[in-house]
Amino acid sequence: MKANFKKHTFNFIFPAGTSRGVLHTKNSWFLSIFNDENTLFGTGECSIIEGLSPDFLDEFTYEQKLSSLIEKLKYLALADFFIPGNKTSFSENGMTFLKQFEEEPSIKFGLECALMDANNRGDGIIFDNSFSRGESSIPINGLVWMGTKEFMLDQIEQKITAGFKTIKLKIGAIDFTSELDLIKGIRKKYSSDDLVIRVDANGAFDASTVYGALKELNKLDVHSIEQPVAPLNSKLLRDLAMEQIIPIALDETLLYFQKTSEKIKILEEIKPQFIVLKPSLHGGLTGTAEWIEMAEELNIPWWMTSALEGSIGLSAIAQFTGNYPINLAQGLGTGGIFSNNLPSNLVVQSGEIMMCK
């Protein structure tokens, strides 16, 4: 099997404020598979977030890993990866090969997508479901980026005008009092019946501040809070989930548990109200499917979200999400935050994402 990779640097259309600083650019590597005639056959996106992706140390080391993968693929055929006659289900041999990338989720995600795209003859459709056929849509939340109060208010108004029924606010960039004032202003205009508000703290609080913060958020009918405290503070996370001041959603915590036994243990230990899944960070598509299976066995709802992928990665994640019955708004988009994204087969209308033909 012939394959190569190419780095692409995405440029943000605005300075993107996160709890890890302000982003202006973001890198992905496109993994491409070719057929015997040297024609492009399948593409996957290996998307990383510096300082967060567990398999990214630096560009040189990351590209060494990709080069090693390319070398291994030389000795394999596409048929070695799939159950005969099945376009998306990996065979036992395929799963064994993917397992070696268990701790390299972004590379595993890109590889899975490239293989499935190639197995579906490279038309960008990696799952056959009602979403990928353009017959159904998926509700999504409108993401409000960190920044000044005025910048965040402007984004909120844009999302509501565009028909979003759920918005997600990144908190931790400005002082918490100002963030509360922002949410209070929203609630004066929109009740919880009209607008669902989620917040993502990215571990911004600690034991001395988190309880007071959650009580204030509870007064404002906030739906849930993602990662209120540091990822490995399991005891505090468990206590917060038990008290249910507001529902707790695990995100970064999941990064540290890639093996099946570890996943079960952490879900049973913390018992969060929700988990938030990012295939580029949480084990690729097959690893994310495992998280979903375990969470559902424990009656823990989930939603999918992106890790700043471009259009190729976002399309794959959206199609994957379309395999499941969806009740909650998902954290998906079209990559419109980048000025140099590749063309997308996704569109957003009235707060829902769909495939366009």
Catalytic residue among 65, 108, 159, 278: 278
Pairing of strands 21-34, 40-47: antiparallel
**Spatial contact of 321 and 330, defined as CB atoms under 8 Å apart:** yes
Identify whether 7 is a catalytic site residue: no
CA dihedral (258, 66, 305, 157) positive or negative: positive
Strands of 240-349, DSSP E: 248-250, 274-277, 302-304, 346-349
Residue 69, token pair as written in the block: 């993968």
**Spatial contact of 147 and 171, defined as CB atoms under 8 Å apart:** no
How many DSSP H helices and E strands does the chain contain? 10, 13
How far apart CA 194 and CA 130 sit, in angstroms, is 28
How far apart CA 61 and CA 317 sit, in angstroms, is 26
Reduced to 3 DSSP states, what percent helix, strand and coil does the chain have, rounded to the nearest 5? 35, 25, 40
**Spatial contact of 281 and 307, defined as CB atoms under 8 Å apart:** yes
What are the CA-CA distances from residue 154 to residues 107, 151, 198, 314 (Å)? 36, 5, 17, 25
Identify whether 278 is a catalytic site residue: yes
How far apart CA 208 and CA 221 sit, in angstroms, is 22
Catalytic residue among 26, 108, 165, 170: 170
Count of other CB atoms within 10 angstroms of residue 11: 12
Strands of 171-240, DSSP E: 196-200, 224-226
Which positions ≥6 away from 81 have C-beta within 8 Å? 90, 91, 93, 94, 97, 115, 119
Instruction: Return the active site residues.
Output: 170, 278
